[in-house]
Amino acid sequence: MDLSLFFAGTAGSVPTPKRGLPALLLRAGGERILLDCGEGTQHQLLKSIGLPDVDAIFITHLHLDHWLGLPGMIKTFDMRDRDRPLDVFGPPGLKALYQQVLKPIIGRTNYPLEIIELEQHEEVGFNDFVIASFPVSHRIEAYGYAFIEDDRPGRFDVETARALGITEGPDFGRLQRGETVDGVTPEQVVGEDRPGRRIVYTGDTSPVQSVEVYAHNADLLVHEATFLEQDKARARETGHSTAAQAARTAADAGVKLLALTHLSTRYFPREVRQEAREIFENTVVPRDFDSIELPFPERGEPHLVKTDLEPASS
């Protein structure tokens, strides 16, 4: 399964000429899942990779900069004659927000639209993976989300199978499906299951143990870095993290790659990256329209793919 994360918006709280408000597009096989939907998200997608008919949207929390793009996107799907269902997930309070604020603006949709409030640690199943919610520490109730791919079967040892007298062809397939063939068991020729890939997105949060738990050995941790250490007190007051705090979490969790987002206009991106890399070297600060590719571990490491597109001024 091809797996990548596209950064449609990487700013914190307010947009800038080059950074839109929070929105990430998870591309997992044929699934397209949006994580947060800040103001202007559909425009960001339209001028970069195009607006896909996303399969689901997950909102981390109900601060305005993380959901204000929903009305326009939901209505655009309606005007494009979408007929596929769309599920919008989020923390408690999402249904009230939709009924009291969004529905009077959007009106009726001609496609099935469901607003679903998740519990802490709830899993939503898709083909070959789940999205799990977990609590983070912000000024209001907020969730992070973890993409957790199903484990893959272990590698099939062709040479051992041949040495045990198994003829190449259908019998190989039977062994890989867990059947015994001519006295040869799958355990003799198939290795242990290989762990699936994992991506963790924090949304807005102060340092919190739940992030480290869900990010344990993750392939990618996308962590907010609204402040630098010089403003750590302000970060604590507002329920945010510094770049150094995000890096310590990445190091403690043993992740492969850390991506910092939710950037403030107070700092240059290079300052954010530098502070984090002093603690966790494998850190990137994506720009809008960059992506991170996550191949299977045997094919390479997660890596940042920079775009040639230049976000237009608002």
Task: Say if residue 223 carries a ligand binding annotation.
Answer: no
Distance between CA atoms of 40 and 50, rounded to whole angstroms?
A: 13
Catalytic member of 36, 65, 288, 290: 65
What CA–CA distances, in Å, run from 91 to 100, 125, 147, 215? 16, 17, 17, 20
Does the active-site annotation cover 182?
Answer: no
What CA–CA distances, in Å, run from 159 to 162, 182, 211, 278? 5, 16, 42, 46
What CA–CA distances, in Å, run from 68 to 23, 59, 166, 233? 11, 10, 60, 28
Q: What is the DSSP string of 36-61?
A: ---TTHHHHHHTTT-----SEEE---
Residue 40 near residue 34, CB atoms below 8 Å: no
Task: Say if residue 204 carries a ligand binding annotation.
Answer: yes
Q: What angle do CA 194, 198, 201 make, to 5 degrees?
A: 175
**Helical pair 269-277 and 243-253, crossing angle rounded to 10 deg:** 40
What are the phi and psi torsion angles at 101 (to 5°)? -115, -50
Task: Say if residue 63 carries a ligand binding annotation.
Answer: yes
Residue 242 near residue 227, CB atoms below 8 Å: yes
Distance between CA atoms of 197 and 26, rounded to whole angstroms?
A: 13
Active site residues: 65
Which amino acids are annotated as binding site for Zn(2+), given as ranges? 61, 63, 65-66, 138, 204, 262
Which amino acids are annotated as binding site, given as ranges? 61, 63, 65-66, 138, 204, 262
